[in-house]
Structure 1
Amino acid sequence: MAQQFDLFVSNEPAFAKPAGLSATKRLASIALSEDEMVRQLQATGRYRILKKLEPRPVTTAARPEFPLKGIILDTETTGLNHRKDEIIEIGAVAFTFDETGNIGDITGVYGGLQQPTSPIPAEITRLTGITDEMVTGHMIDTAQLRALVEPADLVIAHNAGFDRPFCEAFSPIFVGKAWACSVSEIDWPSRGFEGTKLGYLIGQAGYFHEGHRAVDDCFALLEVLAQGDGVVGDTPFAELYTASQQSRVRVFAENSPFDMKDHLKARGYRWADGSDGRPKSWWIEIAEDALDNELRYLRSEIYHWDEADPPIKRLTAFDRFRA
């Protein structure tokens, strides 16, 4: 039975005088369920209600009308550099979906801690709540992870440019998978969201949750991606899945004049120092249909030479977001 709340309302006019009855006896008690109370508060326009996010149940019999398989993945690490820092927690939620982007069933969940080779920095403990004591003696079970990841058609992370390099450095089971980024490949502002941090998205979707633990964040992201489920092609996940299937192009403004760096930076270019195998230059990643316009910009505004031919690299979900 739903928990009951008592709200007391008086049917008497505001100017009515007490007539010898106590205030309590003159008030009528109306018992409201939680749902009714929420509807009444929201109807006033003065309240915004957040519901605690409850993880979806895992099914043993996925519905056949959702034939595709996805993984939402989150990592907690000892730092930001995948070459020297380590994963201390991985969370993964496996789910099914259809080609229109509607989410079906949860088919598996994994969450595991791992003891790093060095103590966890105090700043990381403050951010994640993970202590050295919590990870002592623990190791991520790659066999369980493999069982979820190998069948997946798409791996989703909220900032895949961070998670993918760490995951591929951790285990080869992540290499060769198609990845999607729920930060950069969804137009959140057009959907009325004011930021892209998971906490903002969850709050504006009407939920709250215990953040910064990997599995909890995976379930939280799933609910945000499923907003509008049931409307064909209208979910954030539908937008993400469509974006993941499209080719993108990385353009390198190699040998661009030094005094043009501020112009490039203002346009969204980032600097690569050459240490990761990319050309040592400013670069940008754009949609395939924006390539001709970007090359015209570089030739006219940066190189001032119509024959300039900056290097480009075409990317799909299989190599996007790699280190």
Structure 2
Amino acid sequence: MKAASAQFDLFDEAPGYREVARPLRKRRPAPAPVPYSWDEDEAVRLLEESGRFRILRKLTPRPIIPRSESRFPRLGLLVDTETTGLQHDRHEIIEVGAVAFTYDDTGAIGDVVGVYSGLRQPSSPIPPEITRLTGITDEMVAGQEIDLAALEELVEPADLVIAHNAGFDRPFCEKLSPTFVPKVWACSVTEIRWADHGFEGNKLGYLVGQSGLFHEGHRATDDCHALLEVLARPIGDGGIAPFAELLQSSGRCRMRIFAEHAPFDMKDHLKARGYRWSDGSDGRPKAWWIEIDEDLYEDELAYLRDEIYRWPEAEPLTRRLTAADRFRKG
């Protein structure tokens, strides 16, 4: 038998094979990354136009400029207070925030020309529920006092003082300083038809969010800055700013009617019509009452005479209120 020929494994070196070193190829450097230009406004536009996103923009307070540099002739003052409770006779202010701004007679808002923020130590500890709501603690107000001279410097020249719930803030402010007493006041809760403009509520948080904004602070001055932007942003098809409506409505006279001695079985009818009950503790008569525009007075009087008193000569107690009178205690 013929001897088997020599075999070799395919993975072994073959006979006569010699590995030759090859020069290494130099790697080409990776291309430099192309800088990405982030266009924030364009990104927001695309997201909003998709219909699947709603963008909230962070609220940035307007810069403060000297009053002499603003071309707007009128001066408004937004005021917010934090207190130890709801009762004007018993409770006390623990914080005041104020933002002064210019505007014109058409309701266009101009510039911020002054800001004040101050804490005040009350005569007794702050209730825990107030600390929970406001974030203000006894340690924060210890030894603090409101600088009335600085605050009054903003209040005194103001043509209009605005609060988001002026019926609450005005009595506290008047107790704090007599400078508030003769001022014309407006209420951004009750004197703007927020629901008619598509807003789901009139609390400041709702208004800020539905205006496409958010703000991180919730102290008195922060809320004043937030309210200013809500009032300045055009709404609805006509693009009218809420402040223009507020300015117009604040100039109208109102009639406050007290349905004293109304029959008890008529209370549900009065309540359904918008009357509120006063127990007499706030200086008002103990009665159901309503506040309406002056031009609606005759219709309201006819309703009370025909439906409530059923006596054509009834003359319910009525008070005519100007902007200087409204939102006062009583």
Question: Could you report, residue by residue, the CA deviation over 1:55-82 in whole angstroms, capped at 9, with x for unpaired residues?
Answer: 0000015456411110001011111111
Q: 2:68, 2:43 → 1: CA distance?
A: 35
Could you tell me how far 1:30 is from its partner in structure 2? 5.3
Matched, 1:112 2:118: yes
Alpha-carbon distance, 1:233 to partner: 8.7
Is 1:190 the equivalent of 2:199?
A: no
Deviations 1:163-209 (A, max 9, x none): 01111112212111111000000001122211101001000111100
- Structure 2 Cα separation of the partners of residues 211 and 296 of structure 1: 48
Amino acid corresponding to residue 41 of structure 2 in structure 1: D
Equivalent residue number for residue 7 of structure 1: none
Specify the alignment match of 1:275 in structure 2.
281
Q: CA deviation at 1:254?
A: 1.2
**Structure 2 length normalisation: TM-score?**
0.86
RMSD: 2.0
Match of 2:135 among 112, 129, 132: 129
The CA distance in 2 between the partners of 1:293 and 1:135, in whole Å, is 50
- Normalising by structure 1, we get a TM-score of 0.88
* 1:262 matched to 2:237: no
- Structure 1 residue 168 and structure 2 residue 174: aligned? yes
| 4+ long deviations beyond 6 Å | none
**Residue number in structure 2 paired with 1:153:** 159
Q: CA deviation at 1:162?
A: 0.6
Whichever residue aligns with residue 202 of structure 1, its letter is V
1-structure distance, mates of 2:283, 2:66: 44
Q: How does 1:58-69 map to 2 (within 5 A)?
A: 58-63=64-69, 65-69=71-75
Indicate the residue corresponding to 1:287 in structure 2: 293
Q: Number of aligned residue pairs: give it.
A: 297
**Partner-residue secondary structure (3-state), 1:32:** coil
1:41 Cα deviation (Å)?
A: 1.4
Contact 1:63 1:105 in 2 (8 A): no
Alignment partner of 1:44 is 2:31? no
2:258 is aligned with 1:252 = yes
SS at match of 1:238: helix
8 A contact 2:101–2:112 mirrored in 1: yes
Task: Show the counterpart of 1:178.
Answer: 184
Cα distance in 1 for residues equivalent to 2:50 and 2:230: 25
Counterpart of 2:322, as a letter, is T
Letter matched to residue 281 of structure 1: A
Q: Please, which runs of 5 or more residues in structure 2 have no aligned partner?
A: 1-30
1:321 match: secondary structure: coil
Q: State the Cα deviation string for residues 74-119 of structure 1 (Å, max 9, x = none).
A: 0111111111111100000001100000011111000000011111
Q: Which amino acid aligns with 2:226?
A: A
For 2:209, the aligned partner's letter is G
Distance in 1 separating the partners of 2:217 and 2:263 = 45
Q: Distance in 1 between matches of 2:238 and 2:53?
A: 30
Residue identity matched to 1:181: C
Counterparts in 2 of 1:289 and 1:48: CA distance versus 1, 3 Å: same
**Structure 1 segment 196-211 matched on structure 2, within 5 A:** 196-211=202-217
Among all aligned residue pairs of Structure 1 and Structure 2, give the percentage whose two residues are the same amino acid.
Answer: 67
Contact 2:70 2:111 in 1 (8 A): no
Q: Does 1:311 align with 2:312?
A: no
Q: Secondary structure at the match of 2:114?
A: strand
Amino acid at match of 2:290: I
Tell me how far 1:240 sits from its aligned partner.
0.3
Counterpart check, 1:219 vs 2:225: yes
State the alpha-carbon separation in 2 of the partners of residues 199 and 302 from structure 1. Answer: 39
Residue in 1 that maps onto 2:9: none
Correspondence for 2:20: none
Q: Specify the alignment match of 1:10 in structure 2.
A: none
Q: Distance in 1 between matches of 2:186 and 2:313?
A: 35
Is the 1:102–1:238 contact (alpha carbons within 8 Å) kept by the matching residues of 2? yes
Checking the alignment, whether the CA contact within 8 Å between 2:84 and 2:130 is kept in structure 1 is yes
Superposition map of 1:79-94 within 5 A: 79-94=85-100
